[in-house]
Amino acid sequence: MPSTRKAYRAAILHSIADPAVVGIEASYQYFEDGLLVTESGRISALGHASELLASLPADIEIVHHKDALITPGFIDTHIHLPQTGMVGAYGEQLLDWLNTYTFPCESQFADKAHAEEVAGIFIKELLRNGTTTALVFGSVHPQSVDSFFEQAQKLDLRMIAGKVMMDRNAPDYLTDTAESSYEQSKALIERWHGKGRLHYAVTPRFAPTSTPEQLTLAGQLLSEYPDLYMQTHISENLQEIEWVKALFPERKGYLDVYDHYQLLGERSVFAHGVHLCDDECARLAETGSAVAFCPTSNFFLGSGLFNLPMAEKHNLNVGLGTDVGAGTSFSLLHTLNEAYKVMQLQGARLSPFKSLYLATLGGARALRLEDRIGTLQPGTDADFLVLDYHATPLLSYRLQQANNIAETLFVLMTLGDDRTVLQTYAAGNLVHQR
């Protein structure tokens, strides 16, 4: 049987810890002339090329990238598959935007052929932008999730997705019932969860579109299958927060609604969290829950500025989300460009190494997958990227002026986009080549 071992030589960089906890210098490993060795879908060695080359068998294939940086694959902790066709829709804030654009767009997923077509486009866009793992909202239709998982499985991608549960405050053509959402979710869990590198997420859209009965059954699914994920939205928009108070007057606040129905936990990810308070951040951290920071979306819909320093103070796990279609790009590099501005507007700085952490290891920790993805540590899945220093003329010229890896990384995050991703590998297989 031929060896599946391969080696990749380039500058190599990955996060090994959160800079907010250990300081910037202790948070990453950088090999100016590095070597990454993969075997059977996993990383088997990482280090300086000068030290590792001698240990390799003579017949191993070595792919050498002279003007490129290898990083772990990016992790998107909040994105909507059915909104691919309405990204960049004009002129509304959250609640009007849902009614004007989102719900009509999602209704098309009743048609399996449409769901399959969009799933194909969506996965190609993820890989073109260097995203190797995503936490994905389907539509209310089970076939949206089937179509996505069928295509993700063919490429052996590590992906997480779920059917939206929504039984009120949405158009009739787009609602399920508490009971049907439970039965359909359960069937999808049995069909897909743990199959290859696929995982299922229980997905109530957000508190206003679920009855207490539906939220109760969402919690029941989590107790029946302890290693499931849960994803929903929280505190994105001020009108939305007032609406939740009116719908659930007996609860202390937005987070308390989810807490009451037992939806907080180690694999629970809450998108946005723009208007969370200190107590809510503390409670999320205490339960091991995570927040997906979605800067392009929060700017585009005028929702507000996520308070990352407050989340850090509580040691709350934070990942990054593109949120497409309220977000405007599948690119996590582009998203980090916006995240930097969110911090600037709050009088704070986002170091390029914290940015790298959010897009890789931070996202993996938010998903409790740091033993599998998010770093280039030997033993983890061989999900990695080759970023091209000469992707555009401006990037190429600007990087000639960069004096160190910190500056290089920051320029990649401010000038980079899908063109920067030369190659994307998942489980050691080349799944995108620019």
pLDDT in tens, 70-79: 999 999 999 9
Chain segment 119-161, per-residue pLDDT in tens: 999 999 999 999 999 999 999 999 999 999 999 999 999 999 9
Which of 99-113, 160-174, 228-242, 275-289 is the least confident region?
A: 99-113
Q: What's 133's DSSP letter?
A: E
Structure tokens that stand for 103 in this block: 């719900």
How many distinct structural domains can be found in the chain?
2
Residue 130 lies in a domain: yes
Residue 345's identity, in one-letter code, is L
Q: How far apart are CA 332 and CA 418, in angstroms?
A: 9
If you write DSSP's letter for every residue of 382-406 in order, what string do you get? --EEEEETTSSHHHHHHHHT--SHH
Task: Enter the tokens of residue 100.
Answer: 């004007």
**What count of residues does the chain have?**
434
Structure-derived torsion over alpha carbons of residues 429, 37, 318, 145, reported in degrees to the nearest 10? 20
User: DSSP for 349-371?
Assistant: ---HHHHHHHHTHHHHHHTT-TT
pTM check: above 0.95? yes
Helix (H) or strand (E) holding 76: strand 74-80
What CATH number should be reported for the domain holding residue 405?
2.30.40.10
Residue 248: CB atoms within 10 Å = 18
Range of the domain at 279: 74-330
HSE-CB for 234 with a 13 A CA cutoff: 29
| CA neighbor of 73 nearest in space, from 127, 9, 31 | 127
The answer to whether residues 106 and 229 belong to one domain is yes
Give the pLDDT band (50/70/90) at residue 3: low
Return d(Cα 285, Cα 264) in angstroms, integer: 10
Q: Which residues have a Cβ under 8 Å from the Cβ of 345 and sit 6 or more positions away?
A: 305
Same domain (yes/no): 69, 203: no
- pLDDT above 80 (res 197): yes
Is the same domain home to 29 and 100? no
The β-bridge partners of 421 are: 387
Provide the CATH number for the domain around residue 115: 3.20.20.140
51 and 88 co-located in one domain: no
Q: Which residues pair with 63 in a beta bridge?
A: 8
